[in-house]
Amino acid sequence: MLFRMLYALNRWYALAVLWIYIALFVLAFALMFIFPPASLAMVFLGVIGLGVAGLAFKAMHAAQSALVRRMISRGQCPLCSETNQYGQREGQFACVRCNAVFLDNGMEVEASRDHAFAS
Ligand SMILES: [Zn+2]
């Protein structure tokens, strides 16, 4: 459950941050004519916020990798929670049921993602 939430969050995080920044850019542009100091402050807050967003991105990916490693060590697929369906080959874990493939370090092999929530 926790992994599924983190997985979805990690998947959409970068796009969400992009759209938030685009919306704030439009707001800052409008504020330039109404109250210029606010748009100037938003520029600096935006730069600081980008650093915070980057750190949050790294932290969430580290947490996801740790959860994946823990679930794999229990023989459980992180995506479909199927147990005893896991095969190990050359540092990879491949789920027989949903075709998800994870590396030893907890990173997911991208090509496997299409079938992740098939069942
Ligand atoms: Zn699976």
Ligand 1 midpoint to CA 59 (Å): 24
Long-range contacts of 44-49 (CB under 8 A, 24+ apart): 46/21
Q: Which helix (H) or strand (E) holds 5?
A: helix 2-34
pLDDT tier for residue 47 given thresholds of 50, 70 and 90? very high
Q: Domain limits of the chain?
A: 2-115
**pLDDT over 70 for what percent of the chain?**
87
3-state secondary structure (DSSP) of residue 57: helix
pLDDT by residue (tens digit) across 52-75? 999 999 999 999 999 999 988 888
Q: How many Å lie between the centroid of ligand 1 and the Cα of residue 97?
A: 5
Q: From the CA of 20, how far away is ligand 1's center (Å)?
A: 33
